[in-house]
Structure 1
Amino acid sequence: MKLLRVGPVGAESPAVFDRDGVLRDLSEVVPDIDGALLADDAAMDRVRAAVEGGDLPVLAAADPAGDGLRIGPPLARIGKVVCIGLNYHDHASETGAAIPAEPIIFMKAPDTVVGPDDTVLVPRGSVKTDWEVELAVVIGATARYLESDEQALASVAGYAVAHDVSEREFQIERGGQWDKGKNCETFNPLGPWLVTADEVPDPQALGLRLWVNGVVKQNGSTADQIFPVAEVVRYVSQFMTLYPGDVINTGTPAGVAMGQPEPKPYLRAGDVVELEIDGLGRQRQQLKDA
């Protein structure tokens, strides 16, 4: 299923695309799309049955934006956003970094998450705001000290497109860890949909692409990940408990501004970034000054 949330900021309601691509209202079936729903097998079965029944109210016959509907983040009440750095061979190469022996983990605050087409703000004083298209993994069952890839994938509820916006000067040149360059407001557009895991048979066979002002900058595949999705989830569970409604951003392929020749084409107000992942939908953000 393709689950999403539509409506004004802070007042989104649950929705779903049926098999014909019609957007339908889920608000009479479930209160929202969040970790509690994803962890409740009976509630998810009710959603599937309602979709198959074909009686849910129609919200839009095609693209929600075309009907004036804002698409919000597809997941409410996110517990934590865990991120994996340098997780593509080609991205490590373009930045001159050694292939990590273990996954590099950092965190983003849940309040960095915005809708897939919401405005992204260039922080005040920023000179190195960068783009990163990423596969987001949404957790649907508590994951603690997992022992196998099978257990890891069984804890995944679904997948989504994430934009791990980064400010490289804040991240690398201003002291401390990476947090300052990763947690600026609006720095994690998510969505448009949460695609349930049963519709993504192989998370290591997804193409990822990103454009800036219509020019392709990233064109990669999750097959190039150093640590595949299952290994990432299993590994992270050794250091922290993952709960339903947590999100893991699994890294970005080559093509970021930081990896390009001088003068590096960092983002500025007025730029438009578009990104997509096979089967998971497309995002579009215009940048403005904070």
Structure 2
Amino acid sequence: MKSLEASYEILGLQPGAGFEDVKKAFRRKALLYHPDVAGEGCSLQFQQINEAYAVLKRALIDRFVVNAPSLDSARAAAQARELFIKREIENILQEAQRQLSELIKTMGNDVEVGLSDVLLRLQSRHPVVRFVAACHLGKMKWDVSFMDELMGNISKIALDDVVLEPLLEFLGKAPAHFQSKVMAQIAKGAKDLEEEACIKLLYWGKRLRWETKTLLPFLTHDSNRVVAIALSMLSSADDVPLMVLMSLMERNDEEILVPLLKKMRTNRNLCYLRGRIRELARSHPSLGVRAWAKWLVGDANVG
């Protein structure tokens, strides 16, 4: 951990500076060395600035506690933290508003912004930058020349709630075959997406009639709801790999097992799964799962 002296020096302050001075110095330095502004080469300096700020915050909290002898120390510490959190939230909101105003000036309707600029901003770690870029993307008109650029950058963009809706709105303007290519690329990273994002993508997948290979990442998602929707979109389970089938069988969820068992009759890997299917037929608590498992193994007397 950095010393107090070193932390003050990094922020360009004299030892003993108060909270307001520390806050202003941190904001000034952070804006100057933020990687989105100064480039990745300043990442180390930016990290040091954050660490120095954290050390000084902790020291100021401790000072607050020491200087409040009439209060219980735990209560004093809690009050100090609450004060710091409140002030920091105010600072974040003010900074977000300032950056939002600046970005709107550069990315507003009266300024011509290319897709490459928008995609670059969508990769930013700053939520305000990504928000404005996403809004701009949603208003852009589709052009066939965008295809290669989208395919090359789409995997670098974090598809959270800020970005996904405008991106889908933008893709909705493209011809269906272009949509299919881009969405298939997006689907490759589905396992790491949030549940709601996956469900939105699957909605588009239904319209585009995704094939099994595009749906596979959704079949390994942690959310049973996502998996169930993806299963409902399969015409059969014939092309689902054995390892994925085995994983699905272990979920033990009726919402997943019933549609899966229905679609496995002609799967070439069925022989490797008969033991598990017989186990489901004998002991699964769901009547529907037991019935379909018995049907699948062709043994009405199982159990």
Structure with larger RCO (C-alpha < 8 A, sep 6+): 1
Give the TM-score normalised by structure 1. 0.25
TM-score, length basis structure 2: 0.25
Give the helix-richer structure, 1 or 2: 2
Structure number with larger C-alpha Rg: 2
